[in-house]
Structure 1
Amino acid sequence: MQINPYLYFDSNCEAAFKFYEKALGAKIEMLLRNEDGPPEMASSPERKKNIMHGRISIDGQVLMASDTPPDHFRKPQGFSVSLTVKDPLDAERKFKALSEGGSVNMPFGKTFFAKGFGMCVDQFGIPWMVFSPSEG
């Protein structure tokens, strides 16, 4: 069994994936657009380029997402995507990249439970926790 987060975006899934490519070294594996669906799944002309299903891998881990129809979109809440990075300097770099254009809820820094930990919301509204575990 495998568990993967599935994120919903407000018509900016492709831009978010390209951002994650740059910020996290992610690899876009699939961007299936609404226009790629069968004729019976026709979408409005302004939504044809939106993402019906997307998949990226980040260091071998899978994250999936799509653009939600505007009347179904809700601001993400009640979860965070957690990123565990062994090297605290790399973790801090990834944290800073993710928080660029977003907001920081807890600055990245050493804690009693980790070499480094921080919480942010990226520019697309997705909450993240970046964690560099203590050895032991």
Structure 2
Amino acid sequence: MSSPTPRRTVATLAPVHAGLCFAGDVVCVLLFALGGHQSHEASSSQLVTLRIAWPFLVACALAWLMLVWRSWDARRIVPAGVTVWLTTFVVGMALRLVSGRGVELAFLIVSLVFLGLTMIGWRCAAGLRRR
């Protein structure tokens, strides 16, 4: 009888793997902000990208604190990926709203879909690669 496979969590991932997972989510947020910048404010400074991104980067970091607190494997789609995606979206939008930036319906839809596809998508790709 073989022993059960140990449960993988953020804490048990090698630091480089946890860092890569976090970086994957940060890249998703930065690509989202860069796309918004290029679509709507392309003639302005690249600092605009950071102004767009900061609420979502803060929200993503908070989501990652939740992953660590709950000891979830950051590579898993459920619950980690869904938690990071939805926390990044909801908290990011709340921070954007309280900072005086707009939250039009089209922006809500595009951001929810883009963040979902990218944050869940890299986890799907990583899962296929691990098999």
Q: TM-score, normalised by structure 2?
A: 0.34
More helix as a share of residues:
2
More strand as a share of residues:
1
Which has the higher relative contact order, 1 or 2, with Cα contacts under 8 A spaced 6 or more apart?
A: 2
Q: TM-score, normalised by structure 1?
A: 0.33
